[in-house]
Structure 1
Amino acid sequence: MNQDEDEILSSFFTLLHKVRDVLLVNRPELLEFVKHDNYKLIRDPFGRYFQIVLYIGTKKRTTMKTFANHFKLKAGTATGIIDQLVDKGLLKRETNPKDRRKVEIVLTEHGNNLYAKAIDIQKDEIRSVIDALNPTDIINLKGILKKINKALIIKERTTKK
């Protein structure tokens, strides 16, 4: 690795840890909210279950197949995870209003509350970052974030034989 790569890698990891710390330290209400009895399954606002609630909250509705593909899960594993979140009252299964043969996963009222609270807290933090930037920085940041998101590709898991 050259010096630029080392510096970018170090800055990237620092940023990831800082974002996590900002949300946990600056916004303890998020951690307290997810520790509430209804959300005991979600211990970490950056854990898998929390990410699933954010994913389904963003999509509004999703099929089991789409969910499993997004998280690179086998059907049985995906079903088990969804069952746990259904048992916790965060998700429910509903028939598709346009095709009653299809079942979709949606957030419950509790799931929507968790999703809304998390999004509000994250938006507040993002606003504080944007307020520290000038208009040119904002344009550049948007372009760089798009490039980073496009360049980051989740590789298929390989199974060992």
Structure 2
Amino acid sequence: MQTHFLPVLRNLVSAYQAFERYSAPDLRAMGLTMTQFDVIATLGNQPPMTCKELGEKTLVTKGTLTGVLERLESKGILERKLNPEDARSQMIGLTIKGQKLFERVFPAHLQHLGIAFNQLSAGELEKLSTALQTLTNTFK
């Protein structure tokens, strides 16, 4: 059994954990989890979308998404309406309160992330992006 990929796997997991340690406290200070932010950021400035579309555009698994949507709906941040094109599905969108939250937290969190990412050159960011896309494609 070849395990020459283990250092890459270790670095990938370590990078994601470091990202979470940097990102999550900033979001918690704004009253959000990383998953809630992902959903709000995906729905912000967008027309309502189906749950399936939302799941495809976020990093959230279907099982987790249901609970997150329920919590955000109970807080008045998003709303669900029947899909006029398919009564079996719902359209999910931000409420006015949710859109205002998006407009406050999205740029603030991008600025926070920029502090870290701006330490990398444009070339480094491009190489990282290409390498991560290559890795993603190996699992398809």
Do these two structures clear the TM 0.5 threshold for a shared fold by scoring above it? yes
Match for residue 23 of structure 1? Answer: 23
Contact 2:23-2:113 at 8 Å conserved across structures: no
Question: Could you tell me which of 63, 67, 72 is aligned with 2:62?
Answer: 72
TM-score, normalised via structure 2 length: 0.65
Structure 1 or 2: more strand by fraction: 2
The aligned amino acid for 2:19 is V
Query: 2:28, 2:117 → 1: CA distance?
Result: 24
SS in 2 for 1:89: coil
Query: 2:19, 2:133 → 1: CA distance?
Result: 18
Percent of aligned pairs sharing the same letter: 17
**CA deviation after TM superposition for structure 1 residue 21, in Å:** 1.1
Gapped runs of 5+ residues in structure 1? 35-41, 154-161
The aligned amino acid for 2:34 is F
Gapped runs of 5+ residues in structure 2? none
Cα-Cα RMSD:
3.6
1:115-134 to 2 correspondences below 5 Å: 115-134=102-121
Question: Could you tell me which of 29, 33, 50 is aligned with 2:30?
Answer: 33
**Equivalent residue pairs, number:** 134
Contact 2:55-2:62 at 8 Å conserved across structures: yes
TM-score, normalised via structure 1 length: 0.59
Contact 1:33-1:114 at 8 Å conserved across structures: no
Match for residue 62 of structure 1? Answer: 49
The superposition leaves residues 41-81 of structure 1 with CA deviations (integer Å, 9 ceiling, x where unpaired) of: x5xx224x4433333337542124534677435xxx94x76
Query: 1:69, 1:131 → 2: CA distance?
Result: 28
Match for residue 96 of structure 2? Answer: 109
SS in 2 for 1:93: strand
Does 2:34 correspond to 1:46?
yes
Structure showing greater Rg = 1
